[in-house]
Amino acid sequence: MKNETVNEIKQRLAAITDPSDPLLTKWAHDSRKGVLTALARRRQQLQKQAEQHAAFLARFRYEKLFWHQGITYVAGVDEVGRGPLAGPVVAGAVIIPADFDLELVNDSKQLTPAKRAELAPLIDDAAIATGLGVVDNHMIDKLNIYEATRLAMQTAVNNLAVQPERLIVDAMQVPVPIEQLRLIKGDAKSISVSAASILAKVHRDRLMDDYASLYPEYDFVHNAGYGTAKHLVALKQFGATPIHRISFAPVKKSIQK
């Protein structure tokens, strides 16, 4: 057994992907601390990977229900940007294929900005179709944020190159004549809704980064238009910009002052 050095065993451990590999049992009887430490670390990694894969498969639950009914084109729909004081609300719609294999796709809020930016083009490439809908602050003020969000979702669905037969929507009802499944916290339960949330979030964040260069006082690059302390101080000092939602209380208050 000790013909193999600790480093050689570490290299072989890194290549193992099956938790039931007999080599893991063999090396468990090695008395060297370096081997046992590396073995424990690799087993933890394999366990985490197995849990991640199981969670990924679980997020296909609702899509599979429709696919098993012969419904091929199922679109996940989600939005971002309902709460900010500035900028648009953005919705995404995504139709994924049955062999979609981007395991890190999850609720966009669970991912770092860098990971979302990495995943967005991969989702675009892997999806059957993707669509975005953007509704600006002026329309938000005209309609109210709820109706503006529905309009963004409607636009995202209508921008899909393939007509969906069913929608899976994060909580809301999209004003389109397509049967819909509404899920509370759908972005964490449905893989296609997760994908839609990532595309919408990445697109909106890029828009807000552009606005940050125009209005640097408001720190949009860090708050994406949400009412952080620095943003509220800037509102008080400089007033509202052309992208602020004047129907939202903190902005309306700053204008009145």
Average per-residue pLDDT for the chain: 94
| Residue-level pLDDT at 254 | 86
Cβ atoms of 140 and 78 closer than 8 Å: no
The residues near 18 (Cβ < 8 Å, ≥ 6 apart) are 46
For the segment 205-226, the average pLDDT, to the nearest whole number, is 97
Confidence band, pLDDT 50/70/90 cuts, at residue 52: confident
- DSSP H or E run through 168: strand 166-170
| Residue-level pLDDT at 1 | 46
- Nearest 5°: the CA angle 204, 179, 148 is 35
Domain 61-201 has what CATH class?
alpha beta
Q: How far apart are CA 70 and CA 98, in angstroms?
A: 12
Q: Which residue has the tokens 């000790």?
A: 2
Using DSSP bridges, classify how beta strands 166-170 and 180-183 pair: parallel, antiparallel or unpaired.
parallel
Minimum mean pLDDT range among 96-100, 106-110, 163-167, 246-250: 106-110
pTM check: above 0.75 = yes
Reported as a single tens digit per residue, the pLDDT across 169-183 is 988 999 999 999 999
Q: Parse the chain into domains and list their residue ranges.
A: 6-57, 61-201, 211-256
Edge-to-edge strands of the sheet including 166-170? 129-135, 89-95, 74-80, 166-170, 180-183
User: What number of H helices and E strands is found in the chain?
Assistant: 12, 5
